[in-house]
Structure 1
Amino acid sequence: MSFLVEENPAKHRFEILVDDALAGFTAYVPRGEVLVFTHTEVDQRFQNMGVGAALVRGTLDQIRERGGRVVPKCPFVAAFIKRHPEYGDLVTTQP
């Protein structure tokens, strides 16, 4: 199984493709360099396979590369960051 996480700026979300099929997304509201994450969804066919974690990890890695910050309003993104403190430096309270 191959994962690809890519941003879809037109839809304000990062999407994950699993073997070229759209498997899920995490939506955001842009606030300059800060992205406020509001909702994450994984297609039922891909749940409990690590797709959600791969999506959030890939998303946060891309945000880190470009020097951005996040506000994790989405409970899934917030829980991921809590479990993976190496991403804690990306969190800001300033939207």
Structure 2
Amino acid sequence: MNIEQINEGHKGYFKASENDAEAGRMTYTWVGDTKFIIDHTEVNPEFNGQGVGKKMVLAAVDYARKNNLKIIPLCPFAKATFDKNQDLQDVL
């Protein structure tokens, strides 16, 4: 599965794809220069149960760590992922 990040000024998203099919998308909004809010995570139904949402959250965490950023998970899925994984707390 390929995860790519697209920044579009004040907003952006992480897109998961496999074999040229979009598996999911997680959108975010920048809050200043050092934080972003994950506001929505959506997985296409044919990819349910394959961990697509978590892979996108982990890609966001990796991006935040590499760029010394913080994440505010307002999306219920992203928030639940952070709550269940203590090793992700450093980017909150």
Query: Would you say same fold, with TM above 0.5?
Result: yes
* Greater than 3 Å deviation, 4+ residue runs: none
Map 1:47-86; keep pairs closer than 5 Å. 47-86=48-87
Between the aligned partners of 2:61 and 2:19, the Cα distance in structure 1 is 21
With normalisation by structure 2, the TM-score equals 0.88
Q: Which runs of 5+ in 1 are unaligned?
A: none
- 3-state DSSP of counterpart to 1:37: strand
8 Å CA contact 1:12–1:27 kept in 2: the answer is yes
Q: CA RMSD in A?
A: 1.3
Q: Which runs of 5+ in 2 are unaligned?
A: none
With normalisation by structure 1, the TM-score equals 0.85
Structure 2 letter corresponding to 1:89: D
Q: Is 2:45 the counterpart of 1:44?
A: yes
Per the TM alignment, residue 15 of structure 1 is displaced from its structure 2 partner at its CA by 1.1
Between the aligned partners of 2:45 and 2:63, the Cα distance in structure 1 is 25
8 Å CA contact 1:5–1:59 kept in 2: the answer is no
Between the aligned partners of 2:71 and 2:4, the Cα distance in structure 1 is 17
Per the TM alignment, residue 85 of structure 1 is displaced from its structure 2 partner at its CA by 0.9
* % identical equivalent positions: 28
Name the structure 1 match of 2:17.
17
Aligned pair count reads 89
Name the structure 2 match of 1:29.
29
8 Å CA contact 1:36–1:73 kept in 2: the answer is yes
Deviates more, 1:55-64 or 1:34-43: 55-64
